[in-house]
Structure 1
Amino acid sequence: MTETNAANATKCLGVVAVVGSLNMDLVVRVPRLPAAGETLAGHAFAQVAGGKGGNQAVAAARLGARVAMIGCVGADGNGALLRAGLEAEGIDCGALATCDAVPTGVALIAVDEAGRNSIIIVAGGNGELTDADIARHESLLSEASVLVCQLETPPSTVHAAIDAGRRLGKTVILNPAPAMGPLPGAWLPLVDYLIPNEVEAAALTGMPIGSPAQAADAAQALRSQGARNVLITLGASGVLAALESGTTHFEAPRVTAVDTTAAGDTFIGAFAAQLAGGVAVDDAVRFAQRAAALSVTRPGAQPSIPTLAELDSAR
């Protein structure tokens, strides 16, 4: 555990279990995102820890929660580095498997001068996480108060995880990313908080999302399909929250973005940490927005995620 996170442990909000992906991110900075068939010269390269599951686990840990990670990496150098990185954050990796048959997942990321990104993912070990792994680690899920999942592991595994979370009475957060279309009908009633961005929400609903008002319509459509609460993250336009208590548009903090990679993951990890500690939803959203806003002012995925101390000092 790092010195900073050791200090954060005294402020622990609760227990979060993350079921999801771990990737090694290969990041190149480019003047603009390339068009189809175009070759561009990049001007910087970095290799950093990432993957939506790993990013969200790190965010929750740095922002106060005790975290356990359920995932799978390859038996290679990248896998060893990712495991060591999570352990350095104080994350329980007892349920992080190693698969000899495939490499660790990777993400190829281009980031332009406006901080926008384009990402290609190769699943690797993430694709080897199974329903049986979820069943084997159900005792770990039972110890958490909040469960977080994404869509970078096999669909049957995600369904097994959110089904277990519902059966065990946990608060279930699903980040439907990457979303290629509507989710299976049986999934949404298992979800307490569905958190897509505007692109993912459009894919889930087939509805255009160019404004908070359109996001509100899409969120209500997803609630009508069974999701208890829907938070659509809109980048610089804030967060549209369609909750059981009503619909609210949360304005985003104003910052100059350097790199938006992992901003959504930071939001979700921060939100999960707050919920695990019993914080009211509106306050949890505002806290998560502040964390995400600070993350976009720094490059990289996990390196950009703030700690509680950094968030406090940025007030």
Structure 2
Amino acid sequence: MSKILVVGSLNLDYVIEVENMPKAGETIFGKSLKKIPGGKGANQAYSIGKLGGDVAMIGAVGDDDAGQILLNNLKSVNVDTSGIEIVNDNVTGQAYIYVDDNGQNCITVISGANAVVDRDMIDRNMELIDDAEYVVMQLEVPIDTVKYVKDIAISKGKKVIIDPAPAIKNPDTNLWRGCYIIKPNELELATLTGKKLNNIEEYKKAAIELQKTGADFVISTLGGDGAIAYDGENIKNFDCKKTTVVDTTAAGDTFTAGLVIGLNEGKSIEEAINFGQSAAAITVSRKGAQTSIPSRDEIQ
């Protein structure tokens, strides 16, 4: 099976459980605080590794305890961490995540070492791109680096999947040109297209609009409404896998991991989406980021 490369962020998540989300100017008491390995890039790499994929990662951590926690956690599921550099005089990325009693979350990210993932770092780890069939990215490292990797990967015949989170208002649409898959959730789809989206038909129209910017596929996850996929000709609906929602953290990252694992194993787009949905359904039934990600045996 060909190698998958993830280029992206690594954060140590500080997860704060609350009854309800705090409002502006409001002071509330949290129920608990946990430190959990996270970051969208690391979540995806960890999930791919735990699902049995041959995966490497390019990214950066600080020279601190948080960085070692993240590296050790990735190594525990056989992620190739040779492309993750330890940056002196910088802190490891951090995320502060509020999770309420309904399982919904809001997240504040401190970039830290993620902000220094630059072209030079990519050049130093070019062999990892050469070895990959699929290159997976998000938007928690500098956009210039994402564009650079995308252009190099496409020129080398790799299939690029971008999870556009956090979404950017009025993005340079050239960022999507030549990508194999763009995978926004419903909120990111609205931000990227500059539209208010309220129902499945509006989501479909937005996906069609986004695909016209140059990606082969737009696959959008819609929470309880399942997912949609558009390939430039046909748009398909995928029903949500039923589960009890405890915490939605890392659900999208697990879906992306399941999707790319499925494609790398020769599954069709439809089969890969269903596999990603099954993985994400288990993730949302548990608390935390990487601590909630299932194994291959659990999905099967």
TM-score by length of 2: 0.98
Please name the residue that 1:103 is paired with.
Answer: 91
Aligned pairs for 1:203-214 (under 5 A) are 203-214=191-202
Give the corresponding residue for 1:145. Answer: 133
- Match 2:57 to one of 51, 69, 93: 69
The 5-angstrom pairing of residues 246-265 of structure 1 reads 246-265=234-253
* Partner AA of 1:98 in structure 2: I
How far residue 77 of structure 1 moved from its aligned partner, in angstroms, is 0.3
What does the per-residue CA deviation read over 1:164-220, in whole Å, with 9 as the maximum and x for residues that have no partner? Answer: 111111111001100131321321113110001111111100112222211111111
- Of 174-183 and 259-268, more deviation after overlay is shown by 174-183
For residues 111-190 of structure 1, the aligned pairs below 5 Å read: 111-190=99-178
CA contact (8 A) 1:175 1:194 kept: yes
User: Contact 1:233–1:240 (CA<8 Å) still a contact in 2?
Assistant: yes
Q: Which residue of structure 2 aligns with residue 5 of structure 1?
A: none
Tell me the amino acid that sits aligned with residue 29 of structure 1.
Answer: E
Q: When the two structures are aligned, how many residues end up with a matched partner?
A: 300
Alpha carbons 2:51, 2:295 under 8 Å: kept: yes
Deviation string for 1:199-256 (max 9, x for gaps)? 1111100112222211111111111111211011111110111124510010101111
Q: Equivalences for 1:42-61 in 2 at 5 Å?
A: 42-61=30-49
> Residues 122-147 of structure 1, C-alpha deviation per residue, up to 9 Å, x if partnerless?
00010010011112222211111111
Percent identity between the aligned chains? 38
Using the alignment, how far apart are the partners of 2:68 and 2:183 within structure 1?
30
Q: Would you say the 8 A contact 1:105–1:123 is kept in 2?
A: yes
| Residue 267 (str. 1) matches residue 255 (str. 2) | yes
Structure 1: segments with no counterpart, 5+ residues: 1-12
Which residue does 1:195 correspond to in 2? Answer: 183
Contact 2:137–2:163 (CA<8 Å) still a contact in 1?
yes
Query: What is the alpha-carbon root mean square deviation over aligned residues?
Result: 1.0
Is the contact between residue 14 and residue 66 of structure 1 (CA under 8 Å) also seen in structure 2? yes
The 5 A counterparts of 1:214-293 are: 214-244=202-232, 246-293=234-281
**Structure 2 residue 22 is matched with structure 1 residue 37:** no
- Aligned counterparts of 1:195 and 1:224: Cα–Cα separation in 2: 14
Task: Between 141-150 and 235-244, report the one with greater CA deviation.
Answer: 235-244
What amino acid sits opposite 1:308 in the alignment?
Answer: R
Looking at structure 2, the residues matched to 209 and 141 of structure 1 have their Cα atoms a distance apart, in angstroms, of: 36
Write out per-residue CA displacement over residues 43-64 of structure 1, whole angstroms, 9 at most, x where no aligned residue: 1111000000000001111112
Answer whether contact 1:147 1:171 (CA < 8 A) is retained.
yes
For residue 104 of structure 1, report the CA deviation from its aligned partner: 0.1
8 Å contact from structure 1 (residues 238, 252) kept in 2: yes
Aligned residue type for 2:297: A
Structure 2 gap segments, 5+ residues each: none
Please tell me whether the aligned partners of residues 212 and 232 of structure 2 are also in contact (alpha carbons under 8 angstroms).
no
Q: Find the residue that maps to 2:24 and give its secondary structure.
A: coil
SS at match of 1:140: helix
Question: What's the CA shift string for 1:80-122, capped at 9, x where partnerless?
Answer: 1111111111000111001112100000000001100000000
- Residue 9 of structure 1 aligns with which residue? none
Q: Is the CA contact 1:255–1:297 (under 8 Å) kept in the aligned structure 2?
A: yes
Shift of 1:14: 3.5
User: Following TM superposition, by how much is the alpha carbon of 1:155 offset from its aligned partner in structure 2, in angstroms?
Assistant: 0.8
SS state of the match for residue 186, structure 1? helix
